[in-house]
Structure 1
Amino acid sequence: MKNKTVNILGFNFLNSTFNDFLTNIKKRINNRENTFVVTANPEIVVHALNDSSYKKKIQQSDYLVADGIGIIMGGNILGYDMSERITGYDVLVDLLDWGNKNNKSAYFLGAKPEVIADLKKVIAQKYPHLEAVGFHDGYFTDEQAIADDINEKKPDMVFVALGFPKQENFIINHRNTSDGLWIGLGGSFDVLSGHVVRAPQFWINHHIEWLYRLIKEPTRFKRMLALPKFIHLVKKQKRNNSK
């Protein structure tokens, strides 16, 4: 069945509920279908618009989902009724729980050495029936050695938290080594390991998680400038569409 998508600045974003998306992903994992998921926010889109090579890689994904509320805002400006955010962190936690209940296997790549060390403890404690076949931090020099390790272990799910564009580049280069799920997750390992505190539910429910993170990390301000640029480009697309 073809995915229902909406076109935002040349990118076909999935327009689905979180639950429907996860249902489809789990079916594909069970069928050992090679699946590449990009969880995108406005910063990723703006970067891709300025990097044609990265843009082509994003467009090769099987699912491009709206991680940031800015993407939902952009869709609404264009007149689309987008269902809801599908955040990388929420996808990770849901799949870990499901994998734990269904004896699935997973590989974890990314983040700082101390983060991956603590993540290993969290996975063992919270998801004891999940087969965690590999952990590797994001500070590596031999990319092929990691790809070979994934090829040998053939996990059901490969979680890559290297930050963009590095995580998508890694996935595109090596997704053929193992049929299963490949998904880029940004800073999700930092949150799951307890090194970074996610915004309280109130901030998440009111779509101002970005503001909470900015307050906690003022150095993110420059990165946040991608949002107004993204909205400006979307409004320009709307004007062009109406001509």
Structure 2
Amino acid sequence: MTAVKQEFIHKVDKAKIPTCNILGVDIAAVDMVWLLDYLNDNIHALSGDYICVSNVHTTVTAYEDVEYRKVQNGGIMAIPDGGPLSSVGQKRGFKNMKRTTGPSLMGEIFKISVSKGYRHFFYGSTDETLEKLYSVLEKTYPGIQIAGMYSPPFRPMTAEEDEAIVERINETKPDFVWVGLGAPKQEKWMAAHQGCVDGLMIGVGAGFDYHAGNIERAPEWMQKSNLEWVYRLLQDPKRLFGRYWHTNTKFIWNAMIRGK
């Protein structure tokens, strides 16, 4: 947002969230059960805050960019979407730290949304994907409350447009605001709107595409073996090869070998 935002004061105690510092990013040393319990217990207090879904790419980017590192550490937590993050955490003594992916978190929250009365707003992706996502969610989770959806323009938004979408989101009174803009854009958007948007913002990257059926997730055995990145690389080699080569090698050297 263009307006100067006051410093946000977390409504819950971040110190109670176990973290493992990896390349300067405080990655939540948690598993899915812990995370779901935490969100269910604190969802109303978390309104206006955000969660980063962190992987090797975002962590290495944060290591090299101090401003993005502040964004990663500025929300309520950064969860270990990438298997290598949880593996490093376990080697550093956080035995209960396990991979908590964005798409999996979405699915777990969707499963309990009707009984909990949760309301969802989806910000990001394309109109076509949002339409598919709406149809899939309505069919898969009958009774789920989809408060709203919005596909922002690819160009920078004006201050007036930004204020209008924030007002539109807040009018729907969502519990969860799922942000699918891709990294690092989605994390920067959430940080810029911290304390302005009602509802807990969670940046889930390709989570919209997974649940809409545009992208298939890797087989369970590949997910458990930290090989989902290989499956994604095979799906989109032109876009992902350079990224993986750059970030994976730096992560191995700095986090795994040097212990940063």
TM-score, length of structure 2 as denominator length? 0.84
Counterpart contact for 1:78–1:234, Cα < 8 Å: no
Aligned residue number for residue 200 of structure 2: 181
Match of 1:230 among 209, 231, 251: 251
Q: Which runs of 5+ in 2 are unaligned?
A: 1-12
Check if 1:110 corresponds to 2:124.
yes
Q: Which range moved further: 208-217 or 175-184? A: 175-184
Identity %: 29
Counterpart contact for 1:113–1:139, Cα < 8 Å: no
Aligned residue number for residue 214 of structure 1: 233
Q: Which runs of 5+ in 1 are unaligned?
A: none
Aligned AA (2:252):
I
Aligned residue number for residue 7 of structure 2: none
Alpha carbons of structure 1 residues 204 and 144: separation in structure 2 relative to 1, 3 Å: same
Shift of the alpha carbon at 1:230? 1.1
Structure 2 distance, partners of 1:32, 1:163, is: 22
Structure 2 distance, partners of 1:32, 1:47, is: 26
Check if 1:56 corresponds to 2:70.
yes
Look up the SS of the partner of 1:13 in the other structure.
strand
Structure 2 distance, partners of 1:159, 1:22, is: 16
Alpha carbons of structure 1 residues 175 and 123: separation in structure 2 relative to 1, 3 Å: farther
Structure 1 distance, partners of 2:135, 2:203, is: 21
Aligned residue number for residue 25 of structure 2: 11
Aligned residue number for residue 71 of structure 1: 85
Look up the SS of the partner of 1:221 in the other structure.
helix
Equivalent positions of 1:110-149 (< 5 A) are 110-139=124-153, 141=157, 142-149=161-168
Shift of the alpha carbon at 1:3? 1.2
Runs of 4+ more than 6 Å apart:
none
Q: RMSD over aligned Cα, in angstroms?
A: 2.0
Aligned AA (1:223):
R
Check if 1:152 corresponds to 2:152.
no
Look up the SS of the partner of 2:74 in the other structure.
coil
Alpha carbons of structure 1 residues 228 and 79: separation in structure 2 relative to 1, 3 Å: farther
Q: Which range moved further: 123-132 or 3-12? A: 123-132
Shift of the alpha carbon at 1:161? 0.6
Counterpart contact for 1:28–1:35, Cα < 8 Å: no
Give the total of aligned pairs.
Answer: 239
TM-score, length of structure 1 as denominator length? 0.90
Aligned residue number for residue 219 of structure 2: 200
